[in-house]
Amino acid sequence: MSLNDIKHELKVLIIQESGRDISPDEIDDKESLFGSDSKLALDSLDALQISMALHHKYGKKLNDSKEAMRILLNIDTLAKFITKVD
């Protein structure tokens, strides 16, 4: 699976878990996922749901909220975390 495939898969997962009505193609890889300036405007509940889905789908666990916010910053940072070999 290519990095672009993973990024697309992550966008779909985030949209499904957050219940947003947006196309994956509308999310830029470097765009912030959280905050009022973001198209998604995710919040802490979304972060929890997404982190649980990441653990279920990829076996990757976010250990604390500071780490989660750093990793869930944007699609690029999330893809790097998912593809990182432990």
pLDDT digits (tens, 9 = 90+) for 31-77: 999 988 888 999 989 999 999 999 999 999 988 888 888 999 999 99
d(CA 53, CA 6): 14
d(CA 37, CA 75): 15
pLDDT digits (tens, 9 = 90+) for 24-35: 999 999 999 998
d(CA 28, CA 52): 23
Domain boundaries, the chain: 1-13+42-86
Rg of the chain on CA atoms, in Å: 12
pTM of the model: 0.91
